[in-house]
């Protein structure tokens, strides 16, 4: 799979998009109401209105959208006849924009057909602009939708969804509240470390993962401490992009498989679900990934490179646990009101995500998944 997108990046990279907009007459901007209010986005909308004859704005994308939300958005569109789809927002917004870039093509498969596995052949021109540094949706061939009837999430996956253009613009991420910057940053970290250790990892995905982790380790906590540090913000956008590129060439595994039911049934934000699971899942896979963990550990700004690989691998897991704590993210399901009586459901639902479970670098059975979930109920462990 190739990443065919043209990436523009840097402070004020949106100030002159006229060369991208030439010849475009009907555009659809996909966002949410919060993002729409950001000054830089208002400037972008003004620029689009100046240059494009017809601009429709969809600002109703909810967090963690379901297939019903997307169907409602499509039904409410004044027209699906557009020659440019622009997504501005977090992962949910970008996923919906990717789907709309396919659904706004005459003769395209319906959303139901896409969910049933039909592969799209083409899409309209697309530009994706992330406002969080986490999902890397702008670099993945995936669109994730909640399926409320089944209390889970599914991915519609096709390289056709990769956009023509991506803009990584640090000033768009400065309005993220600290807890969002933290949880989306951990989501990016999960993408990087999971793809790096997956059974389907390869030199291309490894290269993206190593570059991304180096940027993330150096910048994530800086963006929380110094919200207006645009250099750190841009580094996080690139770390997130490289996480998405890693997914496009490899795939996530245990953290994501186990977090899907937490998002699908209990509506935990995706980054929060991943943060809770990061250290416990990595502790479980560590024995199968010692040398990869050691390589990742060496990228930490204060890594002790005199340790042997085994010690480095343990130190990386300890770093993950401490990082989630420092970022003030939840470390247990109990503090989120989810009790151990939900264990049977969680175990079954996680094992059901075979698309990701097959990427885990060791054999995983129901008892293993149950034991990892059990660590999220500290009251049971005393």
| 377: helix, strand or coil | coil
Task: Quote the pLDDT of residue 267.
Answer: 86
**Nearest CA to 73 among 101, 49, 53?**
101
- The predicted-structure confidence for 196-210, as pLDDT tens digits, reads as follows 999 999 999 999 999
Mean pLDDT of 8-27: 91
Specify the range with the lowest mean pLDDT, choosing from 16-20, 50-54, 161-165, 190-194: 16-20
Mean pLDDT of 109-128: 95
Using a pLDDT cut of 90, give the percent of the chain over it.
Answer: 88
Mean pLDDT of 354-359: 96
DSSP-assigned beta bridge partners for residue 85: 28, 126
Mean pLDDT of 217-245: 97
């Amino acid at each position: 799979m190739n990443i065919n997108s043209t990436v523009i990046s840097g402070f004020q990279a949106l100030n002159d998009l006229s060369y991208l907009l030439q010849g475009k007459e009907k555009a659809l901007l996909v966002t949410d109401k919060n993002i729409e209010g950001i000054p830089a986005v208002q400037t972008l909308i003004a620029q689009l209105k100046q240059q494009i004859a017809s601009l429709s704005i969809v600002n109703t994308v909810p967090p963690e959208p379901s297939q019903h939300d997307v169907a409602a958005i499509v039904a409410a569109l004044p027209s699906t006849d557009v020659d440019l789809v622009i997504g501005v927002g977090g992962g949910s917004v970008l996923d919906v924009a990717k789907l709309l870039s396919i659904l706004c093509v005459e003769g395209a498969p319906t959303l139901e057909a896409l969910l049933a596995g039909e592969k799209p052949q083409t899409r309209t021109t697309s530009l994706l602009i992330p406002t969080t540094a986490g999902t890397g949706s702008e670099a993945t061939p995936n669109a994730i939708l909640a399926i409320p009837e089944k209390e889970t999430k599914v991915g519609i996956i096709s390289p056709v969804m990769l956009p023509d253009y991506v803009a990584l613009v640090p000033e768009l991420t400065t309005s993220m509240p600290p807890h969002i910057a933290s949880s989306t940053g951990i989501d990016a970290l999960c993408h990087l470390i999971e793809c790096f250790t997956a059974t389907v990892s390869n030199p291309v995905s490894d290269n993206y993962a190593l570059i991304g982790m180096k940027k993330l380790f150096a910048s994530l906590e800086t963006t929380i401490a110094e919200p207006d540090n645009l250099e750190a913000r841009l580094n996080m956008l690139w770390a997130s992009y490289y996480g998405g590129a890693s997914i496009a060439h490899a795939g996530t595994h245990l953290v994501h498989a186990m977090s899907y039911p937490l998002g699908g049934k209990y509506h935990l934000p995706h980054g929060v679900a991943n943060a809770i699971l990061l250290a416990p899942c990595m502790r479980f896979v560590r024995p199968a990934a010692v040398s990869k963990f050691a390589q990742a550990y060496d990228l930490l700004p204060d890594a002790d490179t005199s340790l042997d690989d085994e010690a480095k691998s343990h130190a990386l897991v300890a770093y993950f646990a401490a990082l989630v704590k420092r970022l003030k993210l939840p470390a247990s399901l109990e503090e989120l009101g989810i009790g151990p009586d939900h264990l049977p459901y969680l175990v079954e639902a996680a094992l059901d995500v075979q698309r990701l479970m097959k990427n885990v670098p060791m054999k995983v059975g129901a008892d293993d998944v149950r034991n990892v979930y059990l660590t999220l109920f500290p009251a049971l462990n005393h």
